[in-house]
Amino acid sequence: MKLACRSPDRPLISLVPMIDVMLILLVFFMVTSTYLNLDMIPFVQRSGDVQAATAPPETGGATTLLVRLGAGGQPFVRGKAQSGPELSALTKARLAENPLLAVTVLPSPQARTQDLVTVMDLLTRAGVTRLRLMRVQARE
């Protein structure tokens, strides 16, 4: 009887340890990364539509409403201070005239972030869907 010798099997290369290491590295980098990027909110660059935003509504051509946020958190429209209900009523009236109204918010550098979020929330509750945030930078 002739018995054949079995050749020893090659060691099997497993990808499981490499996948485990990659997952551990992924979790490590996700936990240690910093996601605090203050430039995450897109800002509108200063352009020609700012002049249209300051035009009175009687002109009929104003398709943008400019809301300035003062240092104390008070919103201003065309230089007049607005309370929350007044701003909401004004925005609803302008939206009734022009459903495609774009609202641009220009916050003061001294305004608190919470005041900005409050004004933006008030505008979206009034029905604004085209809301933009603008930042004015000092010239260098």
Which tens digit of pLDDT belongs to each residue from 35-47? 655 455 555 555 5
* The pLDDT of residue 21: 94
Taking alpha carbons only, the member of 64, 74, 140 closest to residue 104 is 64
74: left (phi over 0), alpha (psi -120 to 50) or beta: beta
The model carries a pTM of: 0.53
How many other C-beta atoms lie within 10 A of the C-beta of residue 81?
Answer: 13
* The pLDDT of residue 26: 94
- Looking at residues 113-131, what average pLDDT do you find? 90
pLDDT at 53 over 70: no
Q: Are 64 and 103 in contact (CB under 8 A)?
A: yes
Q: Are 61 and 55 in contact (CB under 8 A)?
A: yes
